[in-house]
Amino acid sequence: MLVQKVTSDLRGRTKDGREIPKFGSFERAGVELHRHTELCATWDAMHNMLTAAELRIFGWQSYVKAPIFVRLLQSFRPYICPLEKVLENVPEGSGVLDIGCGTGGLLFQAARYRQLREGHGLDSASSSIDVARRVAETIPTKIKFESAQSFDQWPCEQFDVVTTIDVLHHVPPEMQDEFLKQALARVKPRGLFIYKDMAQKPAFCAISNRIHDLILARQWIHYYPFERAIEIVRDQAFTVDKTWTGRRLVYQHEMLVAFASY
């Protein structure tokens, strides 16, 4: 089976000689999210081992059923997007809703490295959802993918963790605030919200990303101010736990992790 193959291929030693852990059970019990910090401390050791190169191998091996272009994109995405920084904040065994999941890369990685209890991916592009479903058939975990063009097609239930990664700059400006509020409304009490998007500064990074999106998404994007994201998250009764900014190649990223205080 593919997963067994991936496990054995990925097992091995890290640069500093530690063994890369095997898959855990996909059926772990739920986690108490107030233990998030403790869980993340445990994860730190593992996170140190997780590199873009390892995620690239995982992307290549898990996307065998995807068109070659998607497979290549998934393989090289970890070099331009700090996915391991997102993964390190997902508590082990949690249920995750990924809004704007694309072809599902983050959920598959979370299933592999964070032993998701369940995953739910939604995206407005049905072609991406079709690919995600095809890949999901090869991975024995509970991940459901749905295409959704409007908020009323989003799931009504709440999740331990809601992620939205590099999506908001694709949303029309007049809908961006509401998009964020709708995403926050899907977080369970004491649950987590993880947001990452592309930064507007420095200018050369913003221009590089704009060109990237003109070519790949054929879209004129609209950057969303990070300060505004923080403001909305706080207004919706969340506590910002962490913020992070950093660069990968010519792409500048902004991320926040927040707890529902209710």
Ligand X SMILES: C[S@@+](CC[C@H](N)C(=O)[O-])C[C@H]1O[C@@H](n2cnc3c(N)ncnc32)[C@H](O)[C@@H]1O
Give the residues lining the site for ligand X (CB under 6 A).
100-102, 105-106, 123-125, 128, 165-167, 170-171
Shortest spacing between CB 199 and ligand X, in angstroms: 14
Q: Which residues contact 106 (CB under 8 A, 6 or more apart)?
A: 83, 86, 87, 98, 163, 165
Shortest spacing between CB 17 and ligand X, in angstroms: 31
Cβ-proximal residue to ligand X, closest one: 102
Q: Give the 3-state secondary structure of residue 221.
A: coil
Shortest spacing between CB 214 and ligand X, in angstroms: 13
Determine contact, residues 88/97, Cβ cutoff 8 Å. Answer: no
* Beta bridge pairs of residue 119: 96, 143
How far, in Å, CA of 130 to CA of 124, rounded? 11
Separation of CA 223 from chain center:
19
Q: Which residues contact 55 (CB under 8 A, 6 or more apart)?
A: 77, 78, 83, 84, 109
Shortest spacing between CB 101 and ligand X, in angstroms: 6
* Beta bridge pairs of residue 251: 248
Structure tokens at 53: 């190169």
Nearest residue (CB) to ligand X, 134 versus 170: 170
Shortest spacing between CB 132 and ligand X, in angstroms: 10
Shortest spacing between CB 147 and ligand X, in angstroms: 8
Nearest residue (CB) to ligand X, 29 versus 104: 104
Cis peptide bond N-terminal to 202, omega within 30: yes
What's the farthest any 2 CA atoms get from each other in the chain?
50
Nearest residue (CB) to ligand X, 20 versus 125: 125
Nearest residue (CB) to ligand X, 154 versus 190: 154
Nearest residue (CB) to ligand X, 27 versus 99: 99
